Amino acid sequence: MNARQKIQHIIRRRVLILDGATGTELQARGMPHGVSPELYSLNNSEIIRSVHRGYLEAGSDIIFACTFGANRFKLAQYDVTDVRGVNRKLAGTAREAAGSRGLVAGDIGPTGRFVEPFGDIGFEAAVACYKEQIQGLLEGGVDLFVIETMIDIQETRAALIAIKEVTDLYTIVTMTYDGSGRTLNGTDPVSALVTLQALGADAVGCNCSTGPAEMIPLITRMKPHARVPLVAKPNAGLPVLRQGKTSFEMGPDEFAGNVRAFVYAGANLLGGCCGSTAEHIRALKEQCSSLRPVPVQRRSISAVSSHARTVFLDRGAPLTIIGERINPTGKKALQQELREGKFSLVNSFAREQVRKGAALLDVNVGMPGIDEKAILTQAVKNLVLATDSPLCLDTSHIDALKAALRLYPGRALINSISAEEKTLEDRLRLAASYGAMFILLPITGSSLPRTALERQEIVRRVYAAAREHGFTRDDFMVDALAMAVSADGQAALETLKTITWCSRTLGCHSVVGLSNVSFGLPERAWVNASFLSMAIASGLSCAIANPESVELMNVKRAGDVLAGRDKDAAGFIGHFSVARDHAVPAPAVQERLSVEELIARAILEGDRDRAPALVDRALDEGVKARVLVDGVMIPAIQKVGELYEKKVYFLPQLIASAEAMQRGFERLEPFLGEGGDVSTTKGRILLATVEGDIHDIGKNIVGLMLKNNGYDVLDLGKDVPPQRIIAAAKDAGVDIVGLSALMTTTMMNMGETVNRLRDAGITCDVMVGGAVVTGEFAETIGASYARDGVDAVRVAQNLLSRKRT
Amino acid sequence: MPIHFQAIRVRLPEREIFARLGFRKGLTSLSAAERETVSKTIEEASDIVLLKGAALVMDIRDRDDAGITLEGGTVFPSSSLTGMLAGCSGALLMGATAGQGIMDAIAACSSQNLTRAVILDAVGSEMADAALDWIMDYAGQDLLRSSRRLTRKRFSAGYGDFSLENQQTMFDMLQLGEIGIRMTPAKVLIPEKSVTAVAGVLRLT
């Protein structure tokens, strides 16, 4: 029996016992702090052998070679370059210790760096780094591999791909999840499982970071979706820091007391991580002896994943929308960006489509004149950072598809694989090697099959070929081929028949490119929406469509309800329920308020849309502009300022009120100064962020508040040199110069500016503010200090009234 | 060599963002509709933010009241920093940015919708800070394996007597250009929602 067979044999009968911690055991045997456990073990082979033997005697079926940090990045910190040699020797030591008593796993851990697109290590560099380690481990005689304590799914993929490209030995993969239930890089256990089992991991699970109680729920979450055995290697509790000493205080009995819960949750392989000892493993083994593990319950799964989200394609679930907008056809701006290697529109389309309800995103960058492989790869890297949505890779170029699949940190959907003889085998092999799902396009290349019967025959042929590569019905969806009804009146019906056949006869998923059905017709949206509704009733799984069409998405939601795919219409009701807590009084009450009271209320409530309309109404009713400003609006905004100072209002409310006031005031400006109404500004204030500083949001708030309170504001913007401030102050005859700075370095420019103002003979008051500015500092430079926008109004008032008296 | 993180994921620090905007529980009166609007804007802003970071652990070679000297000879002249790093065998230098996208979004709406701009601004600031928390979590996990841990506190240039001029040293050592940050002559980091900090590394017995 080879190692793989042994492992599978054990798992069928009982829980397979892994080993416990190595680092803490070496420390307990005298390893000094700060040294590399791998290099220490090389020089103290008897000590590491005793650790290995301890676990074997305690009952471990598999021991891990002490090679967790034996990759080139980690060893480089100790100036060691013979990565292969280190791994070979340490694997050999474990091999000697194990003899025939147990299996030896080559232990592969993180490099300490993140892999593109999450970090600065190139993907192929990561694969090469791991291959180097793998070679040494194979030479040392390991029976299997374990990739453990991984945070970055992309680095994990690189390690797994490296193993699969070198050997077919059994491979266990565990990632480490913190208290949030995700890795530090945001990957959840289910997405990791879907991705890694598709990529060829033989067992998947979690280790480290948490104790047993925190890890059990992760296994529970994974089990329903697992096609492979599940692994758990918790720490011996959470680390406790006491007087500078950290320790894991969970004893063997307490540790093993969690075994039953682990097994019922679905774990098939159990061990221990930091803080666990041979005694912990012994206790674990004893507790497991009477328990039968829950076997793997799934053979296949319809799911696509990103690094942080999984979309399940369950039968009877609501229709899944695949957003179609990332496609340069007919989009000049997108074409231009792609030619220039820019992706801001791609990212923007991605975000918008997800916001409007797309669960997956189709990514198509095909157009003449570009290197599609390079651009698709870049697009994928950008999209992975821009969105959590799984991607559908849409390209006819096999090199581009291969590059994108290799780099994509999830389980992708391929759009598409056709029945064309010369490409079918290559594409199926490629899809299988990365475990991708695919859209089956029932086209042979010679002509488009018009009827459902023709399409069914092609699908059966491709499915037979796909089974040879290990695919099941759950691993693909049939493109039911939506064709233009304007060209063939029966086209929609044939598509619907194909969908029904997929759903009710073959038992597989289906997808359509929705908008094709209405090509050539006017008012296409109606045709698309009606067709969608019929397709949902026929059992359609997915639609490639534009989720920004409100009609389409509402028809989809309604269709899901009518087809019984939205349980209790919960999704539909949730989407259309609007819970509003109206601060505005009921209409009956509003009618009793005067227009002046309504304007004041609009300002108080920050209603920027109503304020201008109410001002117009007031003017129509004959209220004087000056009365509105001085008698209604300024008192209202001053009230807002008071509420802000009492913290009854916070900043967005203050600004919304100020903007409502400003919009109302803009309506009044043409009328101020009419009919003897002398426009009286309270004063003219110059505002600027000082030279070298580019922060201006605080200054903008101050400007808005000052304007609202009747001051004339001249805003010079940011990074303004003193000479510009001087010139503007002279020209405009300002009453106050207001300066803003956010940094301790640029704050010094305030003093410089004040000195230069005085040297130029400008004697007006200066007011300063900013995050690092204080009253004491203001005093040292001969200026007044304003804490915020509301305070600035008060300070300006005080300065000007003092000047006038 | 510093480690660079090209996409840091953090829990959206909504509570901290509200606090930065002046919200005080029990004092600030906010209707459900207003809260929904602010939360929606916060969520939209978090979609635009792309957090990146850099980290570097260095041994402390020497220290006195005037400052610390790192391995390789880099000096941080600051008694405040020396105080914070008391008992530490090393220092974690870190930097993070919320990216240019959020700054562009703030600029785009500042003139027409300052309310939205101040919310975006708060999101950028708090998420950059949350990225530093993330870096400390990441480094902390790694350090635990070699029996070390981080101080709970961190210290940034521009505070106490750790002058902003040290920002240049941080920029160079962390190679912040690799994560899209640049620096003005006045030591202002661009994009503006970028931060650097130092935490201490302690040995555990």
DSSP-assigned states of every residue in A429-454: HHHHHHT-EEEEE---SSS---SHHH
| Residue, of A174 and A669, whose pLDDT is higher | A174
Say how far residue A3 (Cα) sits from the centre of its chain: 38
pTM here is 0.88
Task: Report the C-alpha gap between A483 and A448 in whole angstroms.
Answer: 10
| Upper half-sphere CA count for residue A539 (Cβ side, 13 Å) | 21
- Give the pLDDT score at A248: 80
User: Nearest CA to B9 among A559, A426, A112, A117?
Assistant: A117
Question: Which is it for the CA torsion A595, A600, A605, A607, positive or negative?
Answer: positive
Q: What would the pLDDT profile of B70-124 be if each residue is shown by its tens digit?
A: 999 999 999 989 998 999 999 999 999 999 999 999 999 998 899 999 999 999 9
Instruction: Give me the residues of A, 597-656, that contact B with CB < 8 A.
Output: 606, 644, 646-653, 655-656
State phi, psi for A328 to the nearest 5 degrees.
-75, -10
A578 pLDDT higher than 70 = no
Q: What would the pLDDT profile of A608-627 be if each residue is shown by its tens digit?
A: 999 999 999 999 999 998 88
* Closest chain A C-alpha to B90 CA, distance in angstroms: 12
Contact B188 A652 (CB under 8 A): no
| Contacts of residue A36, Cβ cutoff 8 Å, sequence gap at least 6 | A69, A74, A75, A77, A78, A80
Count CB-CB contacts under 10 A for residue B182: 12
Task: Report the C-alpha gap between A187 and A388 in whole angstroms.
Answer: 10
* Closest chain B C-alpha to A606 CA, distance in angstroms: 10
Confidence of residue A583 (pLDDT cuts 50, 70, 90): very low
Contact A650 B21 (CB under 8 A): yes
A679 pLDDT higher than 60 = no
Mutate which: A22, A31, A120, vs B, most B CBs within 10 A:
A120
User: Nearest CA to A796 among A678, A692, A708, A671?
Assistant: A708
Mutate which: B8, B28, B110, vs A, most A CBs within 10 A:
B28
Contact A119 B137 (CB under 8 A): no
Structure tokens at A690: 């000082």
Sequence letter at residue A575 = H
Give the relative orientation of helices A697-708 and A651-668 as an angle to the nearest 10 degrees.
50
A672 pLDDT higher than 90 = no
| Contacts of residue A464, Cβ cutoff 8 Å, sequence gap at least 6 | none
State phi, psi for B148 to the nearest 5 degrees.
-135, 160
Q: Is A185 on the interface with B (CB under 8 A)?
A: yes
* Closest chain A C-alpha to B64 CA, distance in angstroms: 23
Task: Report the C-alpha gap between A725 and A720 in whole angstroms.
Answer: 7
| Contacts of residue B53, Cβ cutoff 8 Å, sequence gap at least 6 | B4, B5, B8, B94, B95, B96, B97, B131, B132, B134, B135, B179
Q: Quote the domain boundaries for residue B46.
A: 3-203
Measure Cα distances from A521 to A161, A331, A515, A546 in Å. Answer: 48, 21, 11, 18
So what's the ipTM on this one?
0.91
- Give the pLDDT score at A673: 66
User: Nearest CA to A228 among A260, A193, A195?
Assistant: A193
A548 pLDDT higher than 70 = yes
Contact B118 A651 (CB under 8 A): yes
Task: Report the C-alpha gap between A122 and A117 in whole angstroms.
Answer: 8
A674 pLDDT higher than 70 = no
Mean pLDDT of A134-158: 97
A206 pLDDT higher than 70 = yes
Q: Which residue in A has a C-alpha nearest to residue B37's C-alpha?
A: A652
Cβ–Cβ < 8 Å for B8, B52? yes
Instruction: Give me the residues of A, 27-86, that contact B with CB < 8 A.
Output: 27, 33-34
The percent of residues in chain A predicted with pLDDT above 70, rounded, is: 97
Question: Can you list the alpha helix ranges (DSSP code H) found in B49-98?
Answer: 79-84
Burial tier of A79 (Cβ tally within 10 Å: 0-12, 13-18, 19+): exposed
Q: Is A517 on the interface with B (CB under 8 A)?
A: no
- Give the pLDDT score at B143: 87
Q: Go through the domains of chain A in sequence order and give each one's CATH number.
A: 3-288 (3.20.20.330), 304-576 (3.20.20.20), 587-671 (1.10.1240.10), 684-804 (3.40.50.280)
Closest Cβ–Cβ partner in A241, A384, A701 for B118: A701
Measure Cα distances from A30 to A35, A41, A66, A68 in Å. Answer: 11, 11, 16, 19
- Give the pLDDT score at A761: 93
Task: Report the C-alpha gap between A560 and A562 in whole angstroms.
Answer: 6
Q: In what order do the strands lie in the sheet with A736-740?
A: A712-715, A684-689, A736-740, A765-769, A784-785
Chain A residue numbers with beta carbons less than 8 Å from the beta carbon of B161 are: none
Q: What would the pLDDT profile of A586-615 be if each residue is shown by its tens digit?
A: 444 555 789 999 999 999 999 999 999 999
Count CB-CB contacts under 10 A for residue A642: 11
Instruction: Give chain B's domain count.
Output: 1
Q: Which residue in A has a C-alpha nearest to residue B36's C-alpha?
A: A580
A581 pLDDT higher than 60 = no
Structure tokens at A12: 């069928």
* Closest chain A C-alpha to B10 CA, distance in angstroms: 8
Q: What would the pLDDT profile of A431-484 be if each residue is shown by its tens digit?
A: 999 999 999 999 997 788 999 999 999 999 999 999 999 999 999 999 999 999
Structure tokens at A278: 């041979």
- The helix/strand/coil state of A70 is coil
* Closest chain A C-alpha to B65 CA, distance in angstroms: 22
User: Nearest CA to B53 among B24, B80, B92?
Assistant: B92
Q: What is the CATH number of the domain that holds B62?
A: 3.40.109.40
